Structure 1
C-alpha cells in the first residue's frame, strides 16, 4: 500500500431530534463543500439545554 496523507477536520452537527440526526446533518452539510468523505468518527455527544433543563438540541462532534 502506498503512503497516504489524510486531512482530518472537526464538525459539530445539531438536531432537535437525536444525536444520530445531528451527525447526519454535519456530514450532509460538509459533503456540499468537501470531496472524498469516507469516514466520520463520533468523538463527543452533548446536549444544549434551556434554562429549565429541558433538551433543546442534540450535538454530535465528528472528526
Structure 2
C-alpha cells in the first residue's frame, strides 16, 4: 500500500510592497529550509498603517510539505 504523509507548518512573512510579495517572501524562505514543499494556504492577512498609509503587509501561511 503506497501513500504519502505531509506535515503543515505555520510561518509569518512581511513585505513593504504588497501581500503578493509577502507570500513570495514566505514561500522562498520556506523552500530554502523545507524539502518537498507542495503548497501553502494564506491563513491571515494584516497591514500596518502609519499616518493613514500602509507601511507593511503581513501574511500568515500554512506550508504543506511531504515527509520523506
* TM-score interval (norm. to shorter): 0.7 to 0.9
Counterparts in 2 of 1:6-17, with a 5 A limit? Answer: 6-17=6-17
Higher relative contact order (CA 8 A, sep 6+): 2
**How far apart, CA to CA, are the structure 1 residues paired with 2:3 and 2:36?**
17
Deviation (angstroms), 1:48:
1.5
Deviation (angstroms), 1:54:
1.9
**How far apart, CA to CA, are the structure 1 residues paired with 2:52 and 2:8?**
34
Counterparts in 2 of 1:18-37, with a 5 A limit? Answer: 18-37=18-37
Corresponding residue pairs, total: 62
**Structure 1: unaligned runs, 5 residues or longer:** none
The CA RMSD over aligned residues, in Å, is: 1.6
* Deviant stretches of 4+, over 2 Å: 1-5
**How far apart, CA to CA, are the structure 2 residues paired with 1:2 and 1:25?**
34
Bigger share in strand = 2
Question: Bigger CA drift: 1-10 or 13-22?
Answer: 1-10
TM-score after normalising by structure 1: 0.83
